[in-house]
Amino acid sequence: RGHCINGTAALPGMIQPAATSCILNKISVCIKFLIFQATAYSPPPPRELFSLPPGIEHLDLSSNEISIIDRAAFAGLPRLQRLNLTKNYLTLVVAGAFDGLHHLSSLDLSYNGLVVLLDGGFRHLSSLKCLNLSFNELVFVAPQALQGLTGLLRLSLDGGNLSAIPTSALAPLTSLQELRLRWFPLTMLPANSFSGLHTLHNITLEGWPHLSSMNPDSLLLPFAFPPLHCLQELILDLSNNELQDLKTSSFGQPPFSLQLLRLFGNPLMCDCQLSWLLTAQLNFGKPDPVCYNPPEIRGLKLSALSE
């Protein structure tokens, strides 16, 4: 299994033709404009043009200074399966940037400077299973920004500056199983936030510093109605928020069959309004959620309370 150069002081002039894995990070000349094929409409400077063997399956370009990826920049790598672009300076994914990558299964764009996701940025990536967009500066996701990701199983959108759940953009992700939305600045979840995502079985809403209560109809409305085939498998992580109470109506109608409900790290008010959590006999995982109020039972595990 061939490997390219890691930490090279210059762009590689010759890479082993048989290489299938390539790591090119912390390149001291700093790749800023990424293009693997010269085109008539956008010729790059000669020193920033380099080629890779077409058999490459894993390409790591993390920790560089890439700020632009041209349309179809990776078209010469038809076998590429994993692409790591984390920790670069990308602010935009142009339409068609990943055209030609019909076998790509994993794409990491975390820790860049992406501000918006426009329509067409991920078109034709029907084989993509995992997309990491965490820790960017996202303020807007266009309704068709994720169009074409019909096979996507896992999406990470941790951090960012979104003022709402991009419900319309998520709608085409009909195969999505895991959604991570940690450290969001939102104060509440509107109704139907995950409408149509009936294959979801793992949702992480951890570390929202302003999430202190749940609107009764806001959380899992899509799961309160048929189809219910994934409800019994659902893992919901609400840990490390500012939740004081949870309304039973947020979870549809009993009997509740969540596989796991994480609540640790919330200042829970353990009064009669929260007793339904015990009646439902839900699995809270480890560590156990503890009571914050009333003061006389502060620190007591929720599972230790009697109804």
Q: Which CATH class is domain 177-307?
A: alpha beta
Q: What is the pLDDT of residue 8?
A: 42
293 near 272, Cβ under 8 Å?
no
- Edge-first strand listing for the sheet containing 58-60: 2-3, 19-23, 58-60, 82-84, 106-108, 130-132, 154-156, 178-180, 202-204, 235-237, 260-262
The residue ranges of every structural domain in the chain are 1-164, 177-307
Adjacent-strand bridge partners of 140: 116
- Same CATH fold, 177-307 and 1-164? yes
Q: What is the pLDDT of residue 172?
A: 94
Q: What is the pLDDT of residue 92?
A: 95
Helical spans, DSSP H, in the chain: 167-170, 276-279
Least confident range of 95-109, 135-149, 266-280: 266-280
Q: What is the pLDDT of residue 257?
A: 62
- How far apart, in whole angstroms, are the C-alpha atoms of residue 173 and residue 198? 10
Least confident range of 94-103, 172-181, 212-221: 212-221
Q: What is the pLDDT of residue 15?
A: 54
Adjacent-strand bridge partners of 8: none
Question: For the chain, how far is it from start to end, CA to CA, in angstroms?
Answer: 60
**Confidence class of residue 18 from pLDDT cuts 50, 70 and 90?**
low
- How far apart, in whole angstroms, are the C-alpha atoms of residue 77 and residue 102? 10
Q: How far is CA 299 from CA 144, 212, 213, 265, 284, in A?
A: 46, 19, 20, 11, 16
Q: Which fold has domain 1-164?
A: 3.80.10
pTM of the model: 0.84
Check whether 151 has a pLDDT greater than 80: yes
Check whether 50 has a pLDDT greater than 70: no
Q: What is the pLDDT of residue 97?
A: 94
Least confident range of 87-91, 119-123, 192-196: 192-196
- How far apart, in whole angstroms, are the C-alpha atoms of residue 61 and residue 80? 13
Q: How far is CA 119 from CA 69, 144, 171, 251, in A?
A: 16, 5, 14, 33
**Residue listed under structure tokens 């010269």:** 38
